[in-house]
Structure 1
Amino acid sequence: MNWTEGLPRKLWLYTNYDCNLRCAYCVARSSPHAPRRALGLDTAQKLVDEAVALGFEQVFFTGGEPFLIDDIYAMLAYASARVETTVLTNATLLSGTRLNKLTEIANDHLSVYVSLDGGSAEHHDAYRGKGSWDKTVAGIRALLDRGFPVHLGTTEHPTNSAHLEELCAFHRTLGIREEHHIIRPVAKRGSSADGIVMNKCNLVPEITVNVDGVFWHPISTDLDMQVSDQIFPLAAAVEQVQEQLNGDGSRKTMK
C-alpha cells in the first residue's frame, strides 16, 4: 500500500469495553457494568496479519481494561511476534496470575502503557476512584521489576493540573524517562461532559477497530467517528481514510 503522508502507521484495537474502574472522563464509557463487546482472538489475529501486510508499524491494544479478558495474553503474544505492540492498562490487576502470564510472553517488541494521573492518591483517585492510585503504582512497580518497558499516560484535569511537575518527579523516581510520559487533555467524549471537543475535523487519523467496525481515531468509537461498519478488509477502510486526507472524499461512513 502507498501510504498517504501524515497518516500514522498505527493500528488501535479495542479488545473490550468493560473495566474494573469507572473513570469520570472515560471516552469509552467503560465501567464494571459496561457490556464487554469483545473483539475476539480470531478477529484480533486476522487484523494483525492484515496490518503487517499493509505496512502498519505499531499495534495498540486498549479497552476497557484489556486484562479482564482471558484472550489478551494470546493476542499480545501473537501481535508482538510480528509487529511492535503496546497494551494500555490501568495496571491495577497486574499481580499474581495475570502478571505471571504477561511475564511469560515478554519480549523486546511488547511494551505496557499505564494510565497515571498523579504523583499521589489525592490527584489520581479524584477521577479514577478511591484506592486506585495504590494499586496502579503497585502494578507499575511490578512491571518494572519484571523488566517491562513502561510508558505513562496522564489526563490533565482540574484536580491535577497544578501538580503535574510533582507527578513527573515521581515517575523519575521510578526510572521512567520523560519521553515515555504523555500528558493529554480531557476530551469532551464518552463519560465526560467537559473538555476539548475532538472529532474527525481536528484529529489526525489513527486507524481504530472495535467489534462494530473501523473508526477514525482511538479517542472515540462513537458513530460520528466511524469510517466503516465492516472490519474486513481493513485495507478498504484505510483507503477511504487516505482519500479523505487527500481531499478526494467526504468524511462519511462507508457501508
Structure 2
Amino acid sequence: MSHPLFDLSGRVAMVSGGASGMGRQMALGFAEAGADIVLADLNLAGAEVTAGEVESLGRRAVPVECNVSDIEQVRALYSTIDAEFGRIDVVGNVAGEGHMGRPEEMPVEKLQEVLQNLVVGRFTSCQEAGRRMLKQGRGSIINFGSIGGWNSLGRGHTPYGMAMGAGIQMTRELSTEWASRGVRVNAILPAQVWNEGLRKRVAATPELEDTFLGGIPMARLGNPEEIKGPAIFLASDASSFVTGAILPMDGGNIALNAGGTYPGSPRAYA
C-alpha cells in the first residue's frame, strides 16, 4: 500500500516533453499516483500515445501541441488548461532543445535559440503556472535541469550549460519569491540517461559511454523511468517543506571529484 503523502489524486499536472523519454515517464508517474495529465509536446502524435497510456490508468489526459520556446504557444497551453480543468497543481518543465558548439566558433544566434528554449520559454511556463498557483494558494513546479548546469561538461556544451545554469538560478529565485504563498519550485538535475538520441551518439562514438561512466560512481547510465520517484516526491505532499532544492539524479556524479575514481571505473588505475 502506498503512503498517502505521495497521493496526487484530484490534482492536475502539466508535463512538457510528454511524448517520450523522461517527460513521458514523469507524466506516467504522476498518473500512477492519481493525477490527471496535460501533455505538451511538439510531437502531438507521440503525446497522444502517452495520453492513451495515462487513460489506461484511469486518469484523464489532454495532449496539446506546443513549442515551449514560443511564448505565445506556452500562454495558449495554459489557456487550454484553464478551459479543460480550471486549475493546475503540478508542472513538470521537461522539454527544451539545446545546441552544441565550440564557443569560439558558435554563432551568437545559436546561443539565443538555446536561451529562448531553455530559459525564456521555461520562465514563461513558470510564470503562467505561478500566477494560477498563487491564486490557489498552493502548487509545485519542477524544472528539469542537468548536471551540465552545475559544472562544465566541456565538449562544446557551452550554450547548453549556460542555459541550464540559468534554469538552476531561476528555480532558486522563484522558490524564494513564492514559498510564503504556498508555491514550491524545485529542480531535478539528471546525468546521462538513456534515450534514442543518446543511443545514437554512443553508437557513433562508442568510447563516449566510458567517458560518461568514468564520472558516475553507480557505474551505469540512468533509465528514463527513474525520473518517476524524484518527480512524485517533489510534486506531492511528501515534500511539503522542500522548495528551492536542486536535486541531482546522477548516480553520484556531482559528488565525485573530477580527478577521482571509484571501484570498477573505466578510468581507474592501480
Indicate the TM-score class for this superposition, using the shorter chain for normalisation: 0.3 to 0.5
Could you state the TM-score of these two structures normalised by the residue count of structure 2?
0.37
TM-score by length of structure 1 reads 0.39
Which structure has the highest helix share of the two?
A: 2
